[in-house]
Structure 1
């Protein structure tokens, strides 16, 4: 259920960046610890050390705050600079950098906790689930699709549907380890194991979509 702002919270109030960041941090803490329904705007304002009026001057309702918290987390862990295809870059290295950052994000305690919250809310509030997907996973897929399309145009990769390739890449990186974490079956992979997993996934991805110098065979030949 969407919480509505008090009548005195009108538009046009000054937006203080530090307070906004404090609100987002408080929202993440409470959403993860108490769930979505268990986190009121009053509690988030108190956790952030701001008034409810200030909170509503930044976010019109709890759903908007939730969506922005998800978006901010993803942008912090997966900055846009990772999806920039510079001239002369190694597509393998670009994919490795994205793969490591994505794995660290989806396997983080914050992400695992948020996924559990969304699974619990799926049947109660499907609109919130869609908001979560659009603010987080979908944005990542769109950024990755754009990157893969550029790589195809430059002759670095070859695929008919960049979005499907983006989904393949993310599914490979998440693997079975992510599901084990979600259900509490296992602990986080060791750093060396996590790194090896990403390298294996990128090699497999390039076997499917790599061409010319970006293919594993070409790279191995160049190193001999």
Structure 2
């Protein structure tokens, strides 16, 4: 090894690595370009708000030109619509398959915890905050969000409550109303906290579980058969 004082300016120690060649960036497919633009739109919308976001800023965030962006989206409103659809949550992705041997109270707990975990995912909360703020100017976007992100999710919960009622596992004259009341009671305080917290803040799993347990404690005496 050469003494540091004897090394010339261009001398380097051998590393065994092949120097990286400069070249063109990898060519993205059309789907990859579209996905990159949506990700850039999410970041700019969350950072600047819908009103403050510009097509130029979104294109720059994606490392693309405005011309490329306009090939996929005619304006930023269409971008927001596409972003809402890209975050569609028809059902909890990690919802467990119901175990016929499990206590009904445990199944209800699992159902509610999984729905809440999906709705309170940081990106979903950030998107909901954005949609709410733009309701006066873009009510159709709000309707789109409710349609693709909440209707299907609530529908899967309502359907399971109806099945449990038919099987005699729960006692309720209106399973959809009961499911909605329980979900609202569990979600309300947590969602309010999430919406007023810093963007990207996780709702702890333990906090979600504790809220669901508190709701079940209130509903269980009239909802569950004796001994359930």
The TM-score range, normalised by the shorter chain, is: 0.5 to 0.7
1:159-184 deviations in Å (ceiling 9; x for gaps)? 33333223212212123343244345
Q: State the TM-score, normalizing by the size of structure 1.
A: 0.65
2:134 aligned partner: 121
Larger mean Cα displacement after TM superposition, 85-94 or 130-139: 85-94
Count of residues in correspondence between the two structures: 199
- Which structure dedicates a bigger proportion of its chain to helix? 1
CA distance in 1: counterparts of 2:205 and 2:136, whole angstroms: 36
Q: Which of 34, 38, 42 is the equivalent residue of 1:28?
A: 42
1:218 aligns with 2:227: yes
Are the structure 2 counterparts of residues 86 and 66 from structure 1 closer, same or farther at C-alpha, using a change threshold of 3 Å?
farther
2:195 aligned partner: 182
RMSD across aligned C-alpha pairs, in angstroms?
3.8
1:82-121 deviations in Å (ceiling 9; x for gaps)? 2754544544333323333333344444344333323322
Shift of 1:78: 2.4
Are the structure 2 counterparts of residues 54 and 107 from structure 1 closer, same or farther at C-alpha, using a change threshold of 3 Å?
same
1:133 aligns with 2:146: yes
CA distance in 2: counterparts of 1:128 and 1:141, whole angstroms: 19
Q: Which of 62, 70, 90 is the equivalent residue of 2:84?
A: 70
CA distance in 2: counterparts of 1:31 and 1:144, whole angstroms: 31
Q: State the TM-score, normalizing by the size of structure 2.
A: 0.64
CA distance in 2: counterparts of 1:189 and 1:37, whole angstroms: 28
SS at match of 1:144: helix
SS at match of 1:28: helix
1:201 aligned partner: 215
CA distance in 1: counterparts of 2:174 and 2:82, whole angstroms: 29
1:163 aligns with 2:176: yes
Q: Show structure 1 runs of 5+ residues with no match.
A: 1-14, 212-216, 220-224
Q: Show structure 2 runs of 5+ residues with no match.
A: 1-28
